[in-house]
Amino acid sequence: MIYALVDKETLRSKKVSLSELLQHLKTFPNIPILQYRNKSGTEEEKRSDLLMIRKHYDGKLIINDSVELIAYADGLHVGQEDLRAQSADLKEAVHLIREKIGDKLLGLSTHNKSEILEANTLDLDYIGLGAYRATSTKSEANVGGKALLEAASYSKHPVGMIGGVRMDDEFEAPILYKVIGSGLYS
Q: Which one, of 156, 163, 159, lies nearest residue 172 by Cα? A: 159
Q: From CA 172, how far away is CA 167, in angstroms rounded?
A: 14
pTM for the whole structure: 0.94
Q: From CA 130, how far away is CA 3, in angstroms rounded?
A: 14
pLDDT at residue 140 above 80?
no
Q: What is the mean pLDDT of the chain?
A: 94
pLDDT at residue 128 above 90?
yes
Q: Do residues 137 and 166 lie in contact, with contact meaning Cβ atoms separated by under 8 Å?
A: no
Q: From CA 107, how far away is CA 127, in angstroms rounded?
A: 5
Average pLDDT over residues 118-133: 96
Q: From CA 178, how far away is CA 167, in angstroms rounded?
A: 8
pLDDT at residue 4 above 80?
yes
The percent of residues in the chain predicted with pLDDT above 70, rounded, is: 96
Residue 69 CB neighbours (<10 A): 17
CATH number of the domain that residue 94 is part of: 3.20.20.70
pLDDT band at 109 (very low <50, low <70, confident <90, very high): very high
What sign for the dihedral angle of Cα 42, 32, 153, 162? Answer: negative
pLDDT at residue 49 above 80?
yes
**Interval 69-85: pLDDT, tens:** 999 999 999 999 999 99
**What's residue 65's pLDDT?**
93
**What's residue 103's pLDDT?**
96
**What's residue 182's pLDDT?**
76
Domain that holds residue 70: 2-185
